[in-house]
Amino acid sequence: MRVIIVGAGFGGIAAAIELRRRGIADVTILEKADRPGGTWFHNTYPGAACDVPSHLYSFSFAQRYDWVRLCPTQPDISRYVHDVVAEHGLSDMIETGTHVTACRWDDAGRRWTVETSRGERTADAVIVATGQLHQPATPRLPGEFAGHSFHSAAWDHAYDLRGKRVAVIGTGASAVQFVPPVAEQAAHTTVFQRTGNWFLPRRNHRYPRAYRMLVRRVPALQRARRKGLFWYLESLTASIRHPQTLGRLLAIRSRLFMRYQLRAHPELRERIWPDYTFGCKRVLFSSFFLPTLARPDVEVVTEPIERLAPTGVVTADGRTHEVDCIIYGTGFRTTDFMFPMEVTGAGGRSLAEAWKGGAHAHLGIAVPGFPSLYVMYGPNTNTSGGSIITYLEAQAGYIRQALELQRDRAAALSVRPEVEAASDREVQARFAGTAWTRCDSWYRDESGRIVTNWPGYMREYLEQTKRLDPGDFELVS
Cα 158 from chain centroid (whole Å): 26
- Supply the DSSP symbol for 335: G
Contact 120, 106 (CB under 8 A): no
Which alpha helices (DSSP H) does 143-245 contain, by range? 173-185, 209-217, 219-241
Give the burial string for 123-162 (b: 16+ CB within 10 Å, else e). bbbbbbbbbbbbbbebeebeeebebebbbbbebeeeeebe
- Report the first-to-last Cα separation within the chain, whole angstroms: 14
Min dist. Cβ of residue 264 to ligand NAP (A): 24
33 vs 346 by CB, closer to ligand NAP: 33
Nearer to ligand NAP, 8 or 167 (CB): 167
* Residue in the shown chain whose Cβ atom is closest to ligand NAP: 172
Q: How far is the CB of 468 from ligand NAP (least distance, A)?
A: 28
For the chain, helix (H) and strand (E) counts, in that order, are 13, 21
Nearer of residues 12 and 53 to ligand NAP, judged by Cβ:
53
Antiparallel, parallel or unpaired: β 165-169 and 325-328: parallel
- Output 78 or 152, the one with its CB closest to ligand NAP: 152
**Least distance from ligand NAP to the Cβ atom of residue 299, Å:** 15
Q: Whose Cβ is closer to ligand NAP: residue 137's or residue 238's?
A: 137
Q: Which residues bind ligand NAP (CB under 6 A)?
A: 49-52, 133, 139, 152, 169-175, 177, 192, 194-195, 282, 305, 329-332, 442
Which segments within 281-336 are labelled E, that is strand?
284-285, 298-301, 305-309, 312-315, 320-322, 325-328
Residues 208, 44, 442, 369, Cα dihedral to 10°: -110
Nearer to ligand NAP, 169 or 323 (CB): 169
Please state the closest distance from residue 305 (CB atom) to ligand NAP, in A.
5
Nearer to ligand NAP, 16 or 173 (CB): 173
Residue 137 CB, nearest approach to ligand NAP (Å): 7
CA separation, residue 471 to residues 46, 364, 372, 400, 402 (Å): 49, 18, 15, 16, 11
**151, 403, 421 from 475: Cα distances, Å:** 45, 12, 18
- Between 139 and 310, name the residue whose CB sits nearer to ligand NAP: 139
Residue 75 Cβ, how far from ligand NAP at the closest point, in Å? Answer: 14
CB of 304 to ligand NAP, least distance (A): 8
The order of strands in the sheet holding 320-322 is 305-309, 312-315, 320-322
Smallest gap from residue 212 Cβ to ligand NAP (A): 22
